[in-house]
Structure 1
């Protein structure tokens, strides 16, 4: 198959969505398929940079998310390019600009279009005018209108599936959790080198957070709990890997807690070192309640690093043994398991059953993910009918696009 992935977010942008798309591309190509990325321009990618099978369209920073991009033209060029590449299927990864272009391309070529719903936008409304413009109920309208006419929808988790059902999305939905690489070589473990660079002794207990440093991640709560943990494990360090809009506020919070000497902010790091950071941690801690698939959690699991996090429908299915991690009801309950794993590091003890981890690793293996998506594509091709009411479908797409160009798309809608 020749597959077009349409996304506003792609490397070098740092996000779970970009990582998920790269994983999918790698697995599709490993199975003999041709993959073409249709994405936005990025100031970090110099003009003329060679990116095989990646096509970038003129874009601007998105309101509220300066590190995310929105394409403002290129639909006709995308159709021409898609015809030249002889695309068999379009897979959109965004509900915004390139998602709309992807739907337009599929309509013009009369090929199936499927979509992955990555983000629960209700958790991110505060980025746009402090949540005063977009209301949670409006998100359902936007999502439902965008996904009208899709051949099928991929949901990364049961939690997202339930959200889409609540939104009354009519297209067929299948739950396919995003996979990660579970086969790491010894050369990828740079944890010893990283400890030296960060001034950490080999036996220093380390709490790790890795990902976008954003307010919805509730890192301030995790740090407050860590401050309490220091009373029991005084040698521990909290390493925060990543960058984002909450960095300054978080640094001030660390100062107020008087734990500056125990917290290390690395900023954004080279993607090749990410596994090393996971291996360096003795426990991966998160107080976030906004994760729909939580790639960082399962990446930590591949490094044998236990996860301590808040219960979610997705995590409940994979954190099934204390060797994998522990889930709690709220951030206040993070303390006990955090201390438990840090003390296990100091005493050299093993918590839980290591065999339980192996079954989970199969489920989160990127090869399992790739096979499930390929099967989903085959089904989409089998059920696709060219005799769809194209005129009505295009009218819906045009109306959806206008909401972002001509007027407030987030008006109250009770439908």
Structure 2
């Protein structure tokens, strides 16, 4: 989500807009550090998601700041505290409020009291309530759009995948970083990069690795990131005697991420819970092919083997990974990749969001006029 917001801000500002970010305090950010056009509100870690934070005050303070800034539109990025504050500010300023629905909460219910407290029906009710009266909603993928429709949300929904700054990921293979992990330049390297959480299904990737090893004997797997599943996955790797072939990097600084893509030969994911798969897009921009689980999103993104492959079964996954690793020059029609990169670029993303804002202004005006007539 943070990457998406950062990209959105950069693109909107490049198009001549003033962007102000209202967010929570962050223990990783020094209070004395100046952050241009960023306003932070006191917060506490969220239960079960300690890396997420909830604002504990700031409702009227946010309104006063927003009023002084003379905002034209409010774009919320979370359904919780700052999202509620955003709706309050927009309503009182009488400006449109739009929302990006980032998280498929049904995939995360097990984090809250082991799934015994919140059920899918609660997610539906809460999502529908929050999205009510929005002038427009951004769904980063068809999967998100279909889910919101199934929640009986009537507000206008636009499918706009998050773009990436292609220039940040352009580059060639990075053998210097391989040296840090004692990986030779000739060693085939599979990379997966994400929050290391149980819903990412990385255990399925590890389970499939021995079969890939049989056909690509010197292959390595790098699991890049950190999260609650890391210890469990490391135990799995140890029990399967794969510790010399599977590398856990831990958390990587955002600015260093492109270099990790550039050291790999192939990006892989066995997650079946991706709503937008931003790492897939980054991998493509970095020149990697991607093998990921089939979904409406990946089927559209990886629609040609020159960019990647969306698999349905473990057998398909292993087969395509082996094909890519053993014959790296087999699918190298650059025209497909360039066309795909153009469609996922940050510039294209910014232009689509600007059009979305214009449509939302129209929707807001029509709804406001309709309500005024009903009150007469």
Q: Shorter-chain TM-score category? A: over 0.9
Q: Does 1:310 align with 2:310?
A: no
* Pair 1:101-2:110 in alignment: no
Matches within 5 A, 1:286-297: 286-297=269-280
Which residue of structure 2 aligns with residue 284 of structure 1?
A: 267
Aligned to 1:29: 13
Aligned counterpart, 2:53: 69
Separation in 2, partners of 1:273, 1:192? 14
Cα distance in 2 for partners of 1:37, 1:249 equals 37
- Structure 2 unaligned segments of length 5 or more: list them: none
Q: Secondary structure at the match of 2:167?
A: coil
Query: Do structure 1's residue 261 and structure 2's residue 232 form an aligned pair?
Result: no
| 1:44 Cα deviation from its structure 2 partner | 0.8
1:352 Cα offset (Å) = 5.2
C-alpha distance 321-83 of structure 1, shift in aligned 2 (>3 A): same
Q: Does structure 2 conserve the Cα–Cα contact (< 8 Å) formed by 1:222 and 1:334?
A: no
Question: Measured at CA, do residues 190 and 47 of structure 1 come closer, stay the same or move farther in structure 2, by a change above 3 Å?
Answer: farther
Q: Contact 2:169–2:282 (CA<8 Å) still a contact in 1?
A: no
Which residue of structure 2 aligns with residue 410 of structure 1? none
Report the more deviating stretch, 86-95 or 314-323. 314-323
Deviation at 1:341, TM superposition (A): 1.5
How far 1:50 moved relative to its partner? 1.3
Question: In the alignment, which of 380, 395, 401 is matched to residue 360 of structure 2?
Answer: 380
Query: What is aligned with 1:401?
Result: none
C-alpha displacement of 1:66: 0.9
Instruction: Provide the C-alpha distance between the structure 1 equivalents of 2:222 and 2:355, rounded to a whole number of angstroms.
Output: 40
**Aligned residues of 2:165 and 2:346 also touching (Cα < 8 A):** yes
Given candidates 236, 241, 247, the residue that maps to 2:230 is: 247
**2:173–2:264 Cα contact (<8 Å) kept:** no
Matches within 5 A, 1:373-412: 373-385=353-365, 386=368
- In structure 2, the partner of 1:359 is 339
1:324 aligns with 2:304: no
State how far apart, in whole Å, the 2-side matches of 1:265 and 1:365 are.
29
Name the TM-score, length of structure 2 as normaliser: 0.95
Q: SS of the residue aligned with 2:74?
A: strand
**For 2:87 and 2:371, how far apart are their aligned partners in 1?**
14
Q: Does 1:270 align with 2:253?
A: yes
Number of aligned residues: 370
Q: Is the 8 A contact 1:211 1:242 kept in 2?
A: yes
Structure 1 unaligned regions, length at least 5:
1-16, 391-415
TM-superposed CA distance for 1:315, in Å, is 1.1
Question: Contact conserved, 2:169 with 2:286, CA < 8 A, in 1?
Answer: no
Cα separation, partners in 2 of 1:31 and 1:311, compared to 1, 3 Å: same
C-alpha contact (below 8 Å) 1:321/1:352 kept by paired residues: no
SS class of match (1:314): helix
Q: Distance in 2 between matches of 1:278 and 1:23?
A: 19
Name the residue aligned to 1:408.
none
d(CA) in 2 for partners of 1:373, 1:184: 21
SS at match of 1:202: coil
